Amino acid sequence: MKTKLNLVVLFTLLLFQISCTTKTPTDLTKTSFIPKPVSVTATGNTFEIKGSTIIYVQDKLKQTGGYLAAELNKITGLTLEVKTTDKAPAKGVYLDLSEGNNDFGDEGYKLTIDKRLITISANNPAGCFNAIQTLLQTLPVKADAGEPLKIATGVIRDYPEYAFRGAMLDVARHFFGVDDVKRYIDFLATYKMNVLHLHLSDDQGWRIEIKSWPKLTEIGGSTQVGSGEGGFYTQGQYSDIVKYAQERNIMIIPEIDMPGHTNAALASYAELNCDGKASELYTGTEVGFSTLCTDKEITYKFIDDVVRELAELTPGPYIHIGGDESHVTAMKDYIPFINRVQKIVVSHGKKVIGWDEIANATLVENATVQFWANVKNTTLGVKQGAKVIMSPAAKAYLDMQYDSTSTFGLHWAGYIEVDTGYSWDPATLVPGISKENILGIEAPLWSETVTNIDEIEYMVFPRLPGYAEIGWSAPEARNWDKYKLRLAKHGKRFHAMGIDFYRSPLVPWE
Ligand code: IFG
């Protein structure tokens, strides 16, 4: 009898122990969301995702529903069915376009998690996509086989501070293949960023096929910093990247830098050079030594062909014309050049973005100035009515070293540890540039010293989620001491995603 009693006690204790370790989340407000949502309330129950859970979508949300099913499959191994419906189901997951009858704007959403039904309500697919990123953060990145997938119930109402939240990848100094760019896109999508700026040309490389000027990639795409083999995207590959980004609510902005940073083009076509001689290919890391020949007509035919072909491949509204560090282009030549090139971009139905130097020219309507280093240039742009993308090198340049011990990166703008990259407000950083002038934020990764995806991951994580939160969450909701605790919980998510991140000593990693 005594043995039997001992067995019962032992079994009960064991059961209690198991239930404690697979703790069921019941307080939604305890989830370490990044970016921080506008409001989270908990209702103290749980929703369980099972193989039988159905994702219901309205017709316009079939692709979004499919994305959710694919992401859940990666986490759980479950293959959930996606069904179209025009009315709310009693249970499962329901993606609903509320046709603008709420105040969430273009990208906001309401995420309601009840015991039997999860409802995502937004004004358009972008909002539903953002809600999905939030929902995914209530789950582990990889569930243990057989582990019940329980989500704490509650309601999240959320919408972004800025419409433009992005990062840049310099594929010119070092070339990165399509799969690396897609992985970079996944990083941005995970944190609700919606812009990828691709720096497609520079002194060291031309990375996009232009059918009317084939030597740009044949010659200009044949090398890179350090004399590696370089590379380029065919137009088909570029379109594949654009489609992959679009499916993740990310707009691609292609940059063709001009009139400076053009040695790859000048090495490809002798006629683009003022002296009619092709320059040598360049594999160093100096800047400011090249310029297109601004007083030759063929230069503008070249730019018109390039912009035309790129505009046809780019569904987004922007073409970035660079304009930075044209140290060997006299200002008297630079200004008419930028004035003329802007008109070419507009003639192909696109809006102009340029680094802050372009504000020395007469900006066309709807031009946007990307602030990186010069306040005078940028406030000139604001005076002309231009919007500003905030990319202050000292705060947001992802190629800056974390500190003097960092293996990769530069430090001409200073060191950017995780707290430096997080603790600033775009709307108050620069006198003369305030919130109404700002389109949003972008964190550029220049690749002079970055050669592969592992090195990209080291420079981008853990700083990227901080820029995503600056772009999404209100400044009064942001505080480094609280943010670092949430970021610490994302360390295991980075690890589970195979991200080779820098384990900053400033973050109490879990
Ligand atoms: N400045 C140059 C980049 C790159 C960068 C490296 C801009 C706009 C320094 N221009 O940043 O090409 O070399 O940190």
324 touches ligand 1 (CB under 6 Å): yes
pLDDT of 169 above 60: yes
Structure confidence by residue, pLDDT tens digits, 336-359: 999 999 999 999 999 999 999 999
Cα-to-centroid distance, 285 and ligand 1 (Å): 10
- The answer as to whether 452 is a domain residue is yes
Q: Which residue's entry shows tokens 């901080």? A: 466
pLDDT (0 to 100) of residue 339: 98
Average the pLDDT over each of 23-27, 113-117, 289-293, 314-318 and give the range with the smallest value: 23-27
Tell me: do 427 and 462 sit in the same domain: yes
- The answer as to whether 37 is a domain residue is yes
Structure confidence by residue, pLDDT tens digits, 76-98: 999 999 999 989 999 999 999 97
67 touches ligand 1 (CB under 6 Å): no
Q: Which residue's entry shows tokens 């090139």? A: 341
pLDDT of 4 above 90: no
Q: How confident is the model at residue 10 (pLDDT cuts 50, 70, 90)?
A: low
pLDDT of 335 above 70: yes
429 touches ligand 1 (CB under 6 Å): no
Cα-to-centroid distance, 15 and ligand 1 (Å): 59
Rounded to whole angstroms, the maximal C-alpha distance in the chain is 103
Q: 22 is written with which tokens?
A: 């697979």
Tell me: do 322 and 443 sit in the same domain: yes
Tell me: do 131 and 189 sit in the same domain: no
Tell me: do 63 and 93 sit in the same domain: yes
pLDDT of 360 above 90: yes
- What lies within 8 Å, CB to CB, of 93 at 6+ separation is 53, 54, 55, 56, 68, 80, 117, 118, 119, 120
Give which of 497, 153, 199, 438 is closest to 321, Cα–Cα: 199
Q: 229 is written with which tokens?
A: 């083999």
Query: Which atom of ligand 1 lies closest to the CA of 257?
Result: 12
Q: How confident is the model at residue 19 (pLDDT cuts 50, 70, 90)?
A: very low
Structure confidence by residue, pLDDT tens digits, 197-238: 999 999 999 999 999 999 999 999 999 999 999 999 999 999
The listed range with the strongest mean pLDDT (74-88, 94-108, 170-184) is 170-184
Residue pair 51/78 in contact by the 8 Å Cβ criterion: yes
Question: String of b and e for 75-87 (b: at least 16 CB within 10 Å)?
Answer: bbeeebebeeeee
Tell me: do 389 and 461 sit in the same domain: yes
- The answer as to whether 501 is a domain residue is no
Tell me: do 438 and 353 sit in the same domain: yes
**Which protein residue's CA is at the shortest distance from atom 5 of ligand 1?**
446
Tell me: do 126 and 251 sit in the same domain: no
Ligand 1 pocket: which of 257, 325, 411, 415 to mutate (most atoms within 8 A of CB) = 325
CATH no. for residue 218? Answer: 3.20.20.80
CATH no. for residue 66? Answer: 3.30.379.10
- The answer as to whether 507 is a domain residue is no
**Which protein residue's CA is at the shortest distance from atom 7 of ligand 1?**
324
Tell me: do 151 and 198 sit in the same domain: no
C-alpha Rg value of the chain to the nearest Å? 25
Cα-to-centroid distance, 175 and ligand 1 (Å): 16
Query: Which atom of ligand 1 lies closest to the CA of 199?
Result: 12
- The answer as to whether 10 is a domain residue is no
Cα-to-centroid distance, 482 and ligand 1 (Å): 32
Tell me: do 174 and 273 sit in the same domain: yes
pLDDT of 14 above 60: no
446 touches ligand 1 (CB under 6 Å): yes
Tell me: do 199 and 248 sit in the same domain: yes
CA dihedral angle for residue 412, residue 417, residue 420, residue 423, rounded to 10 degrees: 150
Cα-to-centroid distance, 446 and ligand 1 (Å): 7
Is the pTM above the cut of 0.85?
A: yes
Asked which of 158, 185, 219 is the last residue of a domain, the reply is: 158
394 touches ligand 1 (CB under 6 Å): no
**Stretch 160-189: mean pLDDT:** 98
**Which protein residue's CA is at the shortest distance from atom 11 of ligand 1?**
372
- The answer as to whether 82 is a domain residue is yes
pLDDT (0 to 100) of residue 22: 56
- The answer as to whether 394 is a domain residue is yes
Cα-to-centroid distance, 170 and ligand 1 (Å): 10
170 touches ligand 1 (CB under 6 Å): no
The whole domain housing 354 covers 164-475
Asked which of 158, 180, 209 is the last residue of a domain, the reply is: 158
Structure confidence by residue, pLDDT tens digits, 230-277: 999 999 999 999 999 999 999 999 999 999 999 999 999 999 999 999
Tell me: do 233 and 102 sit in the same domain: no
Q: What is the mean pLDDT of the chain?
A: 95
Asked which of 106, 135, 158 is the last residue of a domain, the reply is: 158
**Considering its fold, how many domains does the chain have in total?**
2
Please state, as a whole number, how many other Cβ atoms lie within 10 Å of the Cβ of residue 399.
25
pLDDT of 318 above 90: yes
477 touches ligand 1 (CB under 6 Å): no
- The answer as to whether 8 is a domain residue is no
Structure confidence by residue, pLDDT tens digits, 131-162: 999 999 999 888 887 888 999 999 999 999 99
Residue pair 455/442 in contact by the 8 Å Cβ criterion: no
Tell me: do 357 and 447 sit in the same domain: yes
Q: Which amino acids are annotated catalytic?
A: 325
Structure confidence by residue, pLDDT tens digits, 456-482: 999 999 999 999 999 999 999 999 999
